[in-house]
Amino acid sequence: MIPLSSYLVVSSVLFATGLIGVLIRRNFIIILMAVEIMLNAANLNLVAFSSYLDSMAGQIVALFIIAVAAGEAAVGLAIIIVVFRGKIATNVDQINLLKW
């Protein structure tokens, strides 16, 4: 039987990877993908705990997280399209004005 701590180690490694991706990449879309990695790590953690503690609560929260990730992807990509259409930038470190 696989111990719960193995799942927690995998999920924390994935979370750390996503966090480092958000911090070091320049491209918008890759940063959103790194956020998706972090959400998946959190989902893995929730489902592992819910399975080992014989409770459904964690899996329900994981479903809600998937729904929130869908909304986040839609709105984030819409913002990216708006920024790109204004010919402003394709990288996050070039966006340094609130209004132009």
Partner 1 sequence: MVQQLFFYYLAFASVLSAVLTIGLRNPVHCGLALLSLLFHIAGFFILLNAEFIAAVQIIIYAGAILVLYLFVLMLLNLKTEERYLHRRYALWLFFGLLAAGQAFWLLLKSPFAGKPGDVTPEKVTQFGHTQTIGIVIFNEYFLPFEIVGVFLLGAIIGAIVLAKDRPPADQRETSR
C-alpha closest to that of 61 among 76, 38, 45, 37 = 45
Rounded CA separation 66/36 (Å): 10
Q: Taking CB under 8 A as the criterion, which residues in 52-91 touch partner 1?
A: 53-57, 59-60, 62-64, 66-75, 77-82, 84, 90-91
The residue (of 76 and 97) whose beta carbon lies closer to partner 1 is 76
- Letters for 31-50 (x = contact with partner 1 by CB under 8 A, - = none) are -xxx-xx--x--xx--xxxx
Least distance in Å: CB of 65 to partner 1?
A: 10
Token representation of residue 27: 């491209």
Rounded CA separation 67/88 (Å): 30
* Contacting residue, 1, 87, 96, 98, with partner 1 by CB under 8 A: 1
C-alpha closest to that of 67 among 44, 29, 39, 41 = 39
Token representation of residue 1: 């039987």
Q: Amino acid identity of 47?
A: V
Residues that bind partner 1 (CB under 8 A): 1-2, 4-10, 12-21, 23-27, 29-30, 32-34, 36-37, 40, 43-44, 47-51, 53-57, 59-60, 62-64, 66-75, 77-82, 84, 90-93
